[in-house]
Amino acid sequence: MKALVNWLDDRTGIKGLLHEALYERVPGGARWRYVWGSTLVFTFVLQVITGFMLWSAYSPSTRTAWESVYYIQNEMTLGFVIRGIHHFAAQAMVVLMAIHLVQVIIDGAYKAPREMNFWLGIVLMQIVLGLSLTGYLLPWDQKGYYATQVTTNIMSATPVAGEQVQVLAQGGTQYGHLTLTRFFAMHAGILPALLVGFLVLHIYVFRRHGLTVHDENHAPTSNFWPDQVLKDGVACLAVLAVVLLLALFKGAELSAPADPAVKFDAARPEWYFLFLFRFLRFHQVEALGLTFGAIVVPGIIMGIIAVMPLTHKFLGDLGHRLNKAFIWLLGAAVIVLTGMAFIEDSNDPGHQAALAEAHRDAGRAQELAAGPDRIPVDGAVELLRRDPFTQGPRLFAKHCASCHRYNGHNGRGELVMDEGKVAAPTAADLGNFGSRDWMASIVVDYRHHFRHLENARWFRDRVADDDSPWDSSSMADWSGYPELLKSEAYKDQIKAVAEFLYSEAQHGYVPTDEKEREEYKAPNAPDEKLVAKGRSIALEGAWTGDLEGTSCIDCHSTMGEDFAVIPEDEVDGSPTLAKYASEPWLKDFIRNPGAAHHYGDANQMPAYQSNQLTDTELDLLVRWLTHNHLPTEVEDYPDRQEELEKASGGEGGGGEADGSGDDSGEDAGDE
């Protein structure tokens, strides 16, 4: 071995190189405060290694970027660990860089003759921030897509050449495929090459002038090897441990595939840029414009940092004290602004609702990608566009939530507000539409079930004219004895009727594949014995006790039949309940609620024609309401009925809630 080393040294001079690298003197002895530069280099190397691994499976295009990241995250062996390390090491690098900058300024390592090395460090800091910004977009998910749009918009605020800079960065006037490829080129090629080049210069100049020590008398002088190397190694191991733990137990987030057609209100920059985001939201800063807040102020701050060597040169110790005071003040401001951003977001109901929807979409996208159909050729974004579970709430919020609610909210987890107050619903809550409970509630207490109608202006106007809709409703009259219908004597019979009606609604997932349809067993399928009993009661009047002989078919003659549009001259005066609450019934009702076989002249709900709600949108909305979508384990929006009732001052509405809005979309819901 000795002969081999001597031979290698004779050809390369490796012994001298190692001695030069390892036996640098450390006046005052090895200290933990000197480890930050080494941890930064270590973290960058970690980024390079994991970056090459990710590169081997990443495909930079708008139809394959999210899909390849999904593959890395969920299919590739240990891919989630590699991506997690890369993700959290990037964040660690920003934190370590900030600590290193503070340490350099406090120790005065920017003073002559080390000015050039300090300026090289500032350049390196800009490159690291550039790597963070460009890497954010590469998963091509909603979070990165919209956050990076903010970044490119800030570029446009650059004085003189702003528009040209933005076009250059995003690959044209439109934000799309070329934006992704250019950001990938910068993130994986240009910026790392620049960082390596400037890092070599930085280390060369650093070794030329030696280590700047805080206190030469702290301990006896030692060598870089082994004392400082040991401390550097322990610090790097600690960084690796933290990053690895975060990668294993938290993991890198992958939100839903980027979709320009879906507004992403939860978009925020990475947490270490939140201070700038919050600064830009101050009213005074907004009034002065984006250029002032995002270009001028940061430019002034970086300028002050860049001239710190000159500040010390001309002002001496006073300049050094001013530099230290400035960096501490800047650090405090960053921490305060970041804290403000987190606190305000956590107390912002709108932002929290947007976050909930983002997490819901992210979970659903990955669930669908792992489903039986996998990812289609036209990209993962189509999975969500075709998914009733994803699109139904959005369509409900757009078309239905002005009157209806879904478990107390607008379908997307938010309370409906009007002039700062919770708006009272003016039509039924459809959260459990077509369920057993829904059916039982209609039968047992019709007025209570449709109680939200009482908030509508048309309803109040009729009551004021002594013409209450309840007085003319045969169903409200029939179920006007809830004490009787809720009694123990009728408990089982009501349950059976509800089961029969539930079976008629045919809610639940229906597989599209014929073979799968034959094998599929619905988890909440109707009880056939109860259905038979309920059918007998509803169609034949097989009640016991006071209700004996009464039947639903006395008024609703089509009950128990397949749904069909009934000619107006054959309508018997009551709404059709043929396959009530099923997909065919609901689609026909939404298209023409005022038809004679629905509510006729009593209807208050507008008809949604294909120019307002396309057939595709109608199908998605109805399938969501009837739960005919691929089963999911994604947590849905929380039930907010209790909050709504509290704001409404009770179950009947009114109170502090505003029920005086437009009733053009209200469903009379009475017979």
Amino acid at 198: F
Instruction: Say if residue 593 is preceded by a cis peptide, omega within 30 of 0.
Output: no
- What three-state secondary structure class fits 49? helix
Who has greater pLDDT, 22 or 650? Answer: 22
Closest C-alpha to 643, from 635, 655, 625, 634: 655
Give yes or no for residue 544 having a pLDDT over 60: yes
Give yes or no for residue 99 having a pLDDT over 90: yes
Structure confidence by residue, pLDDT tens digits, 45-64: 999 999 999 999 999 999 99
Amino acid at 511: P
Structure confidence by residue, pLDDT tens digits, 622-667: 999 999 999 999 999 999 999 998 887 755 444 344 444 444 444 4
Which residue segments constitute the domains of the chain, with CATH numbers given?
27-267 (1.20.810.10), 271-347 (no CATH), 387-648 (no CATH)
Closest C-alpha to 128, from 83, 195, 183: 195
Q: pTM above the 0.85 mark?
A: yes
Kindly report the number of other CB atoms within 10 A of residue 607's CB atom. 14
Give yes or no for a contact between 362 and 639, defined as CB atoms under 8 angstroms apart. no
Give yes or no for residue 42 having a pLDDT over 50: yes
Give yes or no for a contact between 367 and 642, defined as CB atoms under 8 angstroms apart. no
Which pLDDT does position 601 carry in this prediction? 85
CA angle 391, 392, 396 (to 5 degrees): 120
From CA 535, how far away is CA 551, in angstroms rounded?
10
Structure confidence by residue, pLDDT tens digits, 363-413: 999 999 998 888 999 899 999 999 999 999 999 999 999 999 999 999 999
Beta-bridge partners for 406:
409
- DSSP single-letter state for residue 257: B
Closest C-alpha to 94, from 133, 48, 147: 133
Which pLDDT does position 304 carry in this prediction? 97
SS3 per residue for 232-245: HHHHHHHHHHHHHH
Give yes or no for residue 593 having a pLDDT over 50: yes
- Output the DSSP codes for 319-370: HHHHHHHHHHHHHHHHHHHHHHHHHHHHT-HHHHHHHHHHHHHHHHHHHHHT
488 Cβ neighbours under 8 A, 6+ residues apart = none
From CA 125, how far away is CA 327, in angstroms rounded?
15
